[in-house]
Structure 1
Amino acid sequence: MTRVEDGGEDVVGWGERQAAWAAADAPSVARSIFLALHAAGVREAFGVIGGGIAPLAAGLANTPIRFYHFRHEAGAGFSAIESWFATGRPAVVAVTTGPGLFNVLNAAMAARVDGAKLLVVSGFTSRAQQGRGAVQETSAASMPVDLTRAGSIFHDVFVPESEEELAGAVGRIVRGLAAPGGYVAHLGLPLSLQGKLLPTPRPLGAAWRFDPPAPTRGAVDACLDALRDPGAAIWVGHGALAARDELLRFAEAAHLPVITSPRAKGLFPESHPLFIGVSGAGGGTGVHQWFRTRRPRHVLVVGTRLGEVTSFLAPGLAPSERWTHVDIDPAAFGAAYPEVPGRGIVADAAQFFAALHARADETGWYARREPSALPERHTEPPLPPRSRGDVRPSYLLQAIQARIVDATDALVMSEAGNSFTWCNARLRFDQPGRYRTSAAWGSMGHFTTGCVGAALASGRRVVAVVGDGAMLMNNEINTAAQYGARVLWIVLNDAQLGLNHHGMLALGMRPLETQMPRTDFVAFARSQGADGLAVTGELELDAALDRALAHDGPFVLDVRIDPTVPSPILAARTRSLESQTRKGGA
């Protein structure tokens, strides 16, 4: 600690008045780090400032990177994730020592599972102070190992104590942010290094570009040979979102039907005649019917691990002979269906579909393939509004489809729980990148907060369909009000944890602690500086959505939904859990 004079008396503090590292043009280590990150494409940073990162915050403030101060580190982390998915720019979340770092770990794990580009920068206790009773000590001795070394949460962890160590760390981080696939790193910085001034300007990190491996002629020919199966299909996931045009061109020319994972909704137009359906959580019966009636020998899988949310790990969704699996991560091959053989191809999705098209066109493959007839598409008639009672979730989603998905370019997000399943099942997208949800991790509070980061980074309207339980668990309405984020929260207010409640009933249990007092989210929103409106019946819904969309700023639509209607995936999810329980006990 340093003593500084204040009114003639010494005051204990961590810095000094007019600290050199706080000057706008100071060549501080902290400022140099963020200038290097800006050169690597970072434009936004999110976080919660604390004493352990004060010099870091000063350095960040003196760079072109825009910093948004949040109310909780988890909300800042989820917002950083969604800013990446909304813009394609890597994001930073800055947190202080101890609790600050612990609070952001849920978001860091979500980033790892979802394949985001995220750098967590935190304060850290210097080696000289470790074990001496430092406040909020953050060190290898006091923290779980995955916070201080690469492992299940972070791809890389760096805790430099010198300029030389820092230069190597930032160089690795810059390369990780540029490489294909997700990258989540942790940079821990002691105060002694954060505020250090560099005697001469020194670049930290250098720009890198990575070219993914191109598919070989042999791999392309083998895939085309397998896809001559009349029952073959293409199953695409979130990792193929950038391949929309190439996928559409090849699938149409080959007359190959397409399945998408929940996170890939819109990658292939859901109104297209070749679209079979969304698989897994929230999907309809179309995918299961295709596998049951067409009995495909081969399926081409691109950009998905086919995990539980995508497939429910159902044996009936596997080809009878083999997979062809394309991904930039070879660990995806055979992960969900280890008993089914296949061919793994490490390649970029867009390059692979382009190579398939070029080779098929060159060899006359399109003319030789004999596709099977497509199943007849069934369209449900629109629901008329009922004049009494709570809003049915299906009617709410019908209104969201008409007034938001079809009539605007807003980004739409669905929170874990009933919101996720209803949106997956009922919303239809014809463009990729307009829908976001977290599948494998699925933390409550991800999208009640992440929507703010997406709106701030992209400048677009973001609509978050969330449950009342998630909204109470974590929200950043106050942050959205401070920065004028164009976020519309549509809260499914049924005064219960709906997915838990109906899930327990489906499993033959008596629901346990699933009910809670009803919250007035309009009053809550207004208390935070936002606006809101309550909807208590279906006849009010259209006008309420129009008013909410016309509001230029954060808005909460509190929709009282029918608590008796179960999630559309509940039966399939229950069967999946029961099957896994039986296997686990075998």
Structure 2
Amino acid sequence: MSTTFPAKTINQNTQLAKLNKNSLSQNSTTTVSHAIVNMLEQMGVQYAFGVSGGAIAPLWDALAHSSIQVLHFRHEAGAAFAAAEAYFASNKPVVVFTTTGPGITNALTGLMAARWEGAKVIFLSGATSAPQRGRWACQETSTYTMPHEGIFTSGTLFNYATTFESPDQLPVIARRLASGLEQPGGFVAHVSISRAIQASKINSLLPLVPFSRSLVTTTQQTVAECGRLLSEGHFAIWVGFGARSAAEAIRQLAETTGAGVICSPRGKGIFPEDHSQFVGVTGFAGHESVLKYMQEQCPLRTLVLGTRLGELTSLWNPNMIPKKGFVHVDLNSDIPGTAYPNSETVGIQSDINLFVKELLNYFSKNKNVFTRLKIPRPQRFVINPNAQTPVRPQVLMNMIQRIIVEGSNAIIMAEGGNSLAWATHLLRFTQANRYRITTRFASMGHFVTGVVGAAIAHQGKAIAIVGDGAMLMNNEISTAVKYAIPVVWIVLNDGRYNMCEQGMGFENYNNVNVTIPKTDFVKIALGMGAKGIRVENESQIKLALEQAMASSVPFVVDVVIDSSVVAPIGKRIQSLMAQKSNHYLL
């Protein structure tokens, strides 16, 4: 049962961009490509990632002669993953460019990940010119050769998509892109442009495109009602990635009310993990302290901020349902009540930062008295290194915590698989926006390549913790070398897809072969012009990580991992097994 409170908007009276700022005089001419690039500059685009080709040559040239930094990648999927992570590191829209045919299809996985993650990405691709369509042009991109719906039209992949058929479309396309970028949440657009249109001459000014950003908030009546509900008894706060801009307000709310705070795997660091009111991480690779909290101190209600409570956040575990249900705040009014359709849910459509500040104001005026309980905390174990054994993942993570998490401001990213499980379970963050994972689309190869975009936009170190399978799938070491980007890859090299092997073992499927031939990633790195070091026992970890962090060039740390150590993925496997009978367990 879900009840949704109405929302209202607050106009900030901001203009996205004055698109004619650097435009032409009425008597001069330019090409569509240069007009598009000028438009992108005015929209705040600083980076463009892609792979070139003849069908996009005029637009590529215009990008190269602009203020936008153009980075030529080795694969379109890698470029799209990098673009998504550059957005999250900079909070500015990013461009992906590709040629026709396979250039487009190669990019789709990364673009789908960008859409699921909530990034703001503009995808520019080539298209076959109208006179050549249906004549089997090389890499023909038209309705004769490629699916049209979904790739070239707005829908589940692209928030907005169009094929540029005439220079007269430029003002309309500019307005649609500007409007989409200014809206809260993600926006992924696809503009497909034939070479003939790219090179077309235009002599008209782009129009001014003023937009007022509307921050969605709720009424004082709704805030008061929520305050009343939360004041009825002990409540918890469940924080997700969508609440990252409200970190300070959430901390103040927790300290004001004594609420225990739990977070999604993507939400690590939004509420400091060393705080006495932090209970633990939920869902995939989560902490036992969360279940203990829900069993022994089950809150009356849980205030949910910025998470969909999807499978890897909640495992849809019925033990996570509080006694009187959820108060769920999200920009999207369709989200509250979706993950737990049978629980009582009060849905509130609002910007989370504004809502939490209003709730704090309500509590300060009403002088509420809250019960403060002793909250269970995640257990921390430090395992001493042993020079006689292969590297245990727990020891590696302890050293990453000391040298990288606590010793730098680097962004840390964990690739899907056991890397994600170990990092989420053992690393601890006290700041938002330092830890990046994906628990939604969850593509292998996302952070192996996305780390390059993150390092560029962060203008500093970015670290990818990855498996050997992902590193062999789709890396961009060569790209990082070309642009001297200080990326570090820490490879958990166990010679197998170990999450698959261990997961199948949990289910007693023992006749699978997911081994990988022995790979020396240091030799691969050196062969591409990067640096690297191999770690074969635990006594070598510290020096290797210190060298990697001190390096001014891309660096690979190839760690020989003990494959027999089981990652904390058991609860996820139990969840998969329980789905057969619609009974979900933590």
TM-score (norm 1): 0.92
Q: Given that residues 235 and 258 in structure 1 are in contact (C-alpha distance below 8 angstroms), is that contact kept between their aligned partners in structure 2?
A: yes
Report the AA paired with residue 160 of structure 1.
F
In the alignment, which residue of structure 1 is the partner of 2:571? 572
Alpha-carbon distance in 1 for matches of 2:388, 2:259: 45
- Structure 2 Cα separation of the partners of residues 431 and 380 of structure 1: 19
Residue of structure 2 in register with 1:436 after alignment: 436
CA drift of 1:247 comes to 0.8
Listed as ranges, the gaps of 5+ residues in structure 2 are 1-27
Query: Which residue does the alignment assign to 1:286?
Result: 289
1:330 aligns with 2:333: yes
Corresponding position of 1:541: 541
RMSD: 1.5
Kindly state the Cα deviation for residue 378 of structure 1 after the two structures are TM-superposed.
5.8
**Paired residue for 1:19?**
none
In 1, distance between residues paired with 2:72 and 2:207?
25
Of the three residues 252, 255, 259, the one matched with 2:258 is: 255
Does structure 2 retain, via aligned residues, the 8 Å contact 1:229–1:296? no
Give the match for residue 184 of structure 1.
Answer: 188
Q: Distance in 2 between matches of 1:51 and 1:291?
A: 59
Deviation at 1:566, TM superposition (A): 1.4
Contact preservation (8 Å) 1:74, 1:104: yes
Deviation at 1:387, TM superposition (A): 2.2
Residues 285 and 571 in structure 2, CA contact (< 8 A), matched pair in contact too:
no
Name the SS of the counterpart of 1:330 in structure 2: coil
Aligned pair partner of 2:277 in 274, 278, 283: 274
- Relative contact order, higher structure (CA 8 A, sep 6+): 2
Report the equivalent of 1:220. 223
Secondary structure of the residue aligned to 2:218 is coil
CA offset at residue 540 of structure 1? 0.8
Deviations 1:30-65 (A, max 9, x none): 111111111111100000000110011011112111
SS at 1:526's partner residue? helix
> Do the aligned residues in 2 keep the contact of 1:31 with 1:56 (CA within 8 Å)?
yes
Query: Matches of 2:377 and 2:440 in 1, distance apart?
Result: 29
Contact 1:146 1:152 in 2 (8 A): yes
CA distance, structure 2, for counterparts of residue 439 and residue 531 of structure 1: 31
**Count of equivalent residues:** 555
Identify if the C-alpha distance between structure 1 residues 160 and 495 changes in structure 2 by more than 3 Å, giving closer, same or farther.
Answer: same
Residue pair 1:421, 1:567 contacting (<8 A) in 2 also: yes
Deviation at 1:288, TM superposition (A): 1.4
Matched residue, 1:496: 496
**C-alpha distance after superposition, 1:50-94 (max 9, x if no partner):** 011001101111211110000000000000000001111110100
Query: Structure 2 vs 1, CA of residues 59 and 290 (structure 1 numbering), >3 Å: closer, same or farther?
Result: same
Q: Which residue of 1 aligns with 2:16?
A: none
CA drift of 1:251 comes to 1.2
Q: Could you tell me the percent identity over the aligned residues?
A: 40
**Matched-pair contact (CA < 8 Å) for 2:293–2:376:** no
Cα separation, 2, equivalents of 1:536 and 1:81: 34
The gaps in structure 1 that reach 5 residues or longer are 1-24
Contact 1:159/1:188 (8 A) holds in 2: yes
C-alpha contact (below 8 Å) 1:280/1:312 kept by paired residues: yes
Matched residue type, 1:240: A
Paired position in structure 1 for 2:176: 172
AA partner of residue 321 (structure 1): K
SS in 2 for 1:388: coil
| In 2, Cα distance between equivalents of 1:354 and 1:151 | 34
* Aligned partners of 1:40 and 1:207 also within 8 Å: no
Q: Distance in 2 between matches of 1:91 and 1:279?
A: 31
Q: Which amino acid aligns with 2:449?
A: T
Runs of 4+ in 1 over 4 A off after TM superposition: none
User: Is 31-40 or 391-400 further displaced after alignment?
Assistant: 31-40
Query: 2: distance between equivalents of 1:317 and 1:229?
Result: 19
- Counterpart of 2:126 in 1: which secondary structure? strand
Matched, 1:112 2:111: no
Quick check: 2:289–2:377 contact (8 Å CA) kept in 1? no
Task: Give the letter for the 2:172 counterpart.
Answer: G
Aligned equivalents of 1:537, 1:92: Cα separation in 2: 42
Tell me which residue corresponds to 1:423: 423
Q: Quick one: structure 1 residues 493 and 555, their matched pair in 2 at CA, closer, same or farther if it must change by over 3 Å?
A: same
One of 122, 133, 141 as aligned partner of 1:138: 141
8 A contact 2:289–2:376 mirrored in 1: no
CA contact (8 A) 2:129 2:196 kept: yes
TM-score (norm 2): 0.92
Q: Residue 452 of structure 2 aligns with which residue? A: 452
Q: CA deviation at 1:344?
A: 1.2
Does the CA-based 8 Å contact 1:485-1:553 persist in structure 2?
Answer: yes
The 1:430/1:540 distance shift into structure 2, 3 A limit, reads same
Question: Secondary structure of 1:189's match?
Answer: strand
